[in-house]
Amino acid sequence: MTWQSANQQQYTSLLFAAKEKPLFSLDRINMATIGHNNLNAKLVLLGDMGAGKSSLVLRFVKGQFLEFQESTIGAAFFSQTLAVNDATVKFEIWDTAGQERYHSLAPMYYRGAAAAIIVYDITSADSFTRAKKWVQELQKQGNPNMVMALAGNKADLEDKRKVTAEEARVYAEENGLFFMETSAKTAANVNDVFHEIAKRLPRAQPTQNPAGMVLVDRPAEGARAASCCS
Amino acid sequence: MMYPIQRNTDLPFEIQPEIRILRPSIHARRANLVVKFQDLYGFTVEGNVDDVNVLNEVREKVREQGRVWWAMEANKGANWYLHTYGSSSIALTSSLRFSVLVNAMTLKKLIRKGIPPSLRPKVWFSLSGAAKKKSTVPDSYYNDLTGAVSDKITPATKQIDHDLPRTFPGHPWLDTPEGHAAVRRVLVGYSFRDSDVGYCQGLNYVAAMLLLVMKTEEEAFWMLAVLLENVLVNDCYTDNLSGCHVEQRVFKDLLTQKCPRLSAHLETLGFDVSLVATEWFLCLFSKSLPSETTMRVWDVLFYEGAKVLFNVALAIFKMKEEELLVTYHVGDAIKIIQNTTHHLFDPDDLLTIAFDKINFMTTNLSKQRKKQETVVMAELDQRLRRLNTTKLSVKS
């Protein structure tokens, strides 16, 4: 993980001074970037089609809910700033398309992400299965320090529930994610998910192991040898 | 309409003759209030007073353009634009051949300036090749197809049903039971025509726009068919969207060639242009640009082909080059791009740059695509293999 700890003001002046030529010398700014007490964090939402990814974002960013939210193609971008303790966290949110075939685009959106919310619909067992696949993929290919949240959305539809909270909680614990059931419709737990992520984002001193950092359990390397042809 | 309507589904939606808005008061102007209004195709748009004025000017320009087209018809005959390619079966005299050439040049210029909305269905249908495609099958093809599959349930139909109310929600015709039913028949019909494509999210927006323009389901269906089968590159919407990946890579290379400074700067920021351009290419700009601007892009797309998407995408970046060069954060750059596309109410602002300032005649696109195809295939294959490894190791 590369930490860009450059003072943002310094960076700005450098940039404006060098306006005339491309800024090859600057490192890429991604993951969570720190300047004073401001943190920029790229966050990606992944999950099955219709699980409510866009609705969660709309609730968080604009405080709105639409019964029918336009289907997302590729991905949609939003930003929102949160104040947590003594710092502000500016989330740059990538809300991705859910259809299976869009899967091949996902790496572009989760590359360099500091956090991910994996969303499923509590009324759809398939969407929970798909959520697990996303978790596996992020564990394998994502940023190893990524803060991951599992959100069981549509919690207001209790009578149509297919995935128990217990099942999801156990899964989340086993995989080092934090878990919440949410409802974009009633707003339940929506801001909380983002707040919790903001709190858990690794802070400044990159040498220390920051509090709240999620350690990801990886399957033992030896296990692969036991499985046959891949 | 000019074509026989076989299903009784002539769309009840009419193009708005005027933008319905009360003239904002001077106070609203001062406060720079955001107003809501309906655009030419019935979409609700939020904009400021300047945007409304621009749209009114555009409406006037559309009328003017209509007069030019009608004058052409009066002068050259009703279907003059169909005779731009010398049809080989007829031995043309040299003077006639010359007039064909003149027609072709005139037509290209005229189309880049915009086809009047009233002529769009007719001109698109013939020039895109949709009419020809339709003529190769029995007249009852569309009715037979949609009739035969209307009760079938497949993964594609489930996804289509899921997306119907999520396709331009709030539109006065699309978001009605009739609108949903029409979009459904077109998409479901197509999912059976080409099971490799089936249904791909994004096509819902494309089909919806085609219905608004063509006014009959059957013609919208054939426009969708010609678009996917002839106009665009292969596999844009199939399985892993490989065609789309290829186009994105070609686009990145073109941006590097045409705007090297900008391209380098964006790379420094870590801004992969595909982050925004993927949606443009899959929805053919219908989710990003105002409707008349989108339709103006499609006017040219159906006549000149898929390369038009590159012209337009490059133009969007080119328009904002100076502004983008002074951003220092991905988020800011994306905001600039989003803001630009959403407010491009005057199609000429975009298309003048797209066609007059960007020229890649020298670029051999098919060679570029071939090159990127190999890279994309290898990459997708490698990714798939890595993911499969994960699955196995977790299981055991």
Residues B283 and B363 in one domain: yes
- Identify the pLDDT of residue A36: 60
Looking up residue A170, the CATH number of its domain turns out to be: 3.40.50.300
Looking up residue B143, the CATH number of its domain turns out to be: 1.10.8.270
Tokens of A96: 């991705």
Give CA angle at B376 (B373, B377), nearest 5°.
85
CA distance A129 to A47: 10
Residue where a domain stops, chosen among B231, B262, B282: B231
For residues A23 and A39, the model is more confident at: A39
pLDDT for A6 beyond 50: no
Distance (Å) from the alpha carbon of A122 to chain B's nearest alpha carbon: 17
Residue of B nearest to A97 (CA): B201
- Identify the pLDDT of residue A222: 37
Q: What is the mean pLDDT of residues B346-371?
A: 88
pLDDT digits (tens, 9 = 90+) for B89-100: 455 566 666 777
């990886």: which residue's tokens?
A: A218
Q: B45 pairs with which residues across the strands? A: B37
């964090």: which residue's tokens?
A: A41
Tokens of B305: 């082909």
pLDDT for A207 beyond 50: no
Residue A43 lies in a domain: yes
ipTM: 0.85
Of B159, B387, B392, the CB nearest to A49: B159
SS3 B285: coil
SS3 B7: coil
- Neighboring chain A residues of B395 at a CB cutoff of 8 Å: 227
Q: What is the mean pLDDT of residues A73-88?
A: 92
Distance (Å) from the alpha carbon of A174 to chain B's nearest alpha carbon: 13
A84-107 burial, b for 16+ CB within 10 Å, e for fewer? beebebbbbbbbbbbbebbbbbbe
Residues B308 and B277 in one domain: yes
Does A79 lie at the interface with B, CB-CB under 8 angstroms? yes
Alpha-carbon dihedral sign for residues A178, A183, A186, A190: positive
Residues B210 and B249 in one domain: no
Q: Do A29 and B392 touch (CB under 8 A)?
A: no
Residue A18 lies in a domain: no
Residue where a domain stops, chosen among B231, B261, B287: B231
CA distance A41 to A125: 31
Distance (Å) from the alpha carbon of A19 to chain B's nearest alpha carbon: 7
Are B23 and B32 in contact, with CB atoms under 8 Å apart?
Answer: no
Residues B274 and B355 in one domain: yes
Q: Give the structural domain span for A46.
A: 39-219
Q: Mutual orientation of helices B365-395 and A125-141 as an angle, nearest 10°?
A: 100
- Identify the pLDDT of residue B94: 67
pLDDT digits (tens, 9 = 90+) for B54-77: 988 999 999 999 999 999 888 888
Residues B99 and B69 in one domain: yes
Following DSSP, what letter does each residue of B143-197 receive, concatenated?
Answer: HHHHHHHTT---HHHHHHHHHGGGSSTT-TTTTSHHHHHHHHHHHHHHHHH-TTT
pLDDT for B8 beyond 50: no
Residue B388 lies in a domain: no
| Number of domains comprising chain A | 1
**pTM (predicted TM-score):** 0.85
Give the number of other Cβ atoms within 10 Å of residue B78's Cβ: 11
Window from A119-128, B13-22, B370-379 with minimum mean pLDDT: B13-22
- Neighboring chain B residues of A72 at a CB cutoff of 8 Å: 201
Q: Give the structural domain span for B72.
A: 26-119
Which residues, numbered 144 to 183 in chain A, qualify as contacts with chain B under a Cβ-Cβ cut-off of 8 Å? none
pLDDT digits (tens, 9 = 90+) for B98-138: 777 778 888 999 999 999 999 999 999 999 999 999 999 99
- Identify the pLDDT of residue B1: 35
Residue A104 lies in a domain: yes
Q: What is the dihedral of CA B298, B302, B306, B310, to 10 degrees?
A: -30
Q: Do B331 and A90 touch (CB under 8 A)?
A: yes
Alpha-carbon dihedral sign for residues B210, B122, B351, B302: positive
pLDDT for A45 beyond 80: yes
- Identify the pLDDT of residue B26: 54
pLDDT digits (tens, 9 = 90+) for B291-338: 999 999 999 999 999 999 999 999 999 999 999 999 999 999 999 999
Residue B263 lies in a domain: yes
- Neighboring chain A residues of B331 at a CB cutoff of 8 Å: 40, 77, 79, 90, 92
> Percent of chain B scored above 90 by pLDDT?
71
CA distance B269 to B265: 6
Q: Do B326 and A16 touch (CB under 8 A)?
A: yes
Tokens of A134: 């996303």
Q: Do B383 and A104 touch (CB under 8 A)?
A: yes
| Number of domains comprising chain B | 3
Residue B347 lies in a domain: yes
Residues B164 and B221 in one domain: yes
Nearest of A126, A122, A102 to residue A44 by alpha carbon: A102
Residue A11 lies in a domain: no
pLDDT digits (tens, 9 = 90+) for B174-220: 999 999 999 999 999 999 999 999 999 999 999 999 999 999 999 99
Residue A10 lies in a domain: no
Are A168 and A150 in contact, with CB atoms under 8 Å apart?
Answer: yes
- Identify the pLDDT of residue A191: 97
| Per-residue confidence band for A13, with pLDDT thresholds at 50, 70 and 90 | very low
Q: What is the mean pLDDT of residues A137-142?
A: 91
CA max distance for chain A:
61
Distance (Å) from the alpha carbon of A130 to chain B's nearest alpha carbon: 13
Residue B274 lies in a domain: yes
